[in-house]
Amino acid sequence: MINQKMFDLGAEPNKIRELFAYGLKRKAEIGAENVFDYSIGNPSVPAPECVHQAFVEQLQQDPVVAHEYTPSPGDPAVRKAIADYITSEFGISATAGNVYVTSGASSAIAITLSAICEPGDEVIAIAPYFPEYRTWTHTADCTLVEIPASVPSFQPDIAAIEAAINERTSAIIINSPNNPVGAVYTRENLQALAKMLAAKEQELGRRIFIVADEPYREITYGADIPYVPNLYADTIVCYSFSKSLSLPGERIGYIYVSDRMGDAQAISTAVAGAGRALGYICAPVMLQRVIAKCLGTPSDVATYASNRELLTQGLSELGYEYVQPEGAFYLWVRALEPDAIAFSERAKDYELLLVPSDSFGVKGWVRLSYCIARSTIERSMPAFRALMESYNG
Ligand code: PLP
């Protein structure tokens, strides 16, 4: 016997990974330079020098210490360094006890949902959304309630979220800067969301958490990125170093339970319990200590900014419709037919790997990940032209 739910999840196709795997196969067949792989968010910018230095330091110390277990929520010194960074950067008195070090944002969100939800609860996501929100919500035996973003701004639709909240709602996941559309939620919109949620908490006599999924906090093109715990007390931040330090395969991030919550300690205890239950304890020790040395190291946003410029200019000249990204490194482009899956399949004929929006809970668009080599973007333009021409006769 096996667990049917887990079997179904294992067997369920993940379009992003599928396209990524197809791209690897195709590159082996026809040469990497002939495949225009916009599928996955694997940063093309190398990790900063600080990371290299910190790794070397870790390797030069006593090898027993270098590879030891840390306490389940992380090395106390690392948790303190993260708390001190939050305090100095965002003006909140963060304490180490409310920081839980994780293997990236994935485990951070999975832990958080399991910690704050009871089976049968509802979790709201703003569509389009990161596909794994569905998985982690279902793992916590909860239902994901998808609320479309306002179009064309792709900001959260506060009235629609308000209408969806009921006595089973336990959390709303927000992600700004956003994957897949590149939107940055404005301060006004987040303030309105916070005000509405606080009123709903009063009305329903129930906690409603914001889970702020923030892997792209530092990847912006000049936009203001408010720190959500400063706007809404019941916020849990799920942070990742995958993008900010270009460490996606190293699996490191953290959960921060806002100290502005009166009962933050109890919530952190539930986080520790969920981490233990799911087996997400003692994040990789070397990475913990490396990131502690590199907190606040600036990301190389200039590369992504110039890719954004090149891609948007090229696609607009060809007549594609897209959402101007304010952050992250994704471009949300209107498919040239209503069925985005069919459009993505046709794009493959031109060696263009574009993720259909169905994966993100909406229809009719594709996502292009532009954290790739500039030369790939340059070389892909004739393919985009040919794809457009295939529709326009
Ligand atoms: N949330 C969003 C919005 C993402 O884009 C990603 C990764 O691409 C994750 C979470 C997971 O990040 P991590 O690599 O830290 O697990």
Segment 220-242, tens digit of pLDDT: 999 999 999 999 999 999 999 99
Please, are residues 142 and 123 in contact by the beta-carbon 8 Å criterion?
yes
Q: The pTM is what?
A: 0.96
CATH 3.40.30.10 fits 4-46+299-391, yes or no: no
Q: Residue 156 is which amino acid?
A: P
Provide the residue ranges of all domains of the chain, joining segments of one domain with +: 4-46+299-391, 49-293
- The Cα–Cα gap between 304 and 87 comes to 28
CATH 3.40.640.10 fits 49-293, yes or no: yes
Please, are residues 299 and 45 in contact by the beta-carbon 8 Å criterion?
yes
The reported pLDDT for the residue numbered 14 is 84
The reported pLDDT for the residue numbered 41 is 85
* Element at 355 (helix H, strand E): strand 355-356
The reported pLDDT for the residue numbered 393 is 73
Reported as a single tens digit per residue, the pLDDT across 95-128 is 999 999 999 999 999 999 999 999 999 999 999 9
The reported pLDDT for the residue numbered 86 is 98
The reported pLDDT for the residue numbered 290 is 98
Residues of the chain with pLDDT under 70: none
105 lines ligand 1 (CB under 6 A): yes
327 lines ligand 1 (CB under 6 A): no
Strand, coil or helix: 267: helix
Q: Which of 109, 113, 136, 213 to mutate to test the pocket of ligand 1 (most atoms within 8 A of CB)?
A: 213
The reported pLDDT for the residue numbered 300 is 87
41 lines ligand 1 (CB under 6 A): yes
- The Cα–Cα gap between 82 and 80 comes to 5
Name the closest-CA residue to atom 8, ligand 1.
Answer: 41
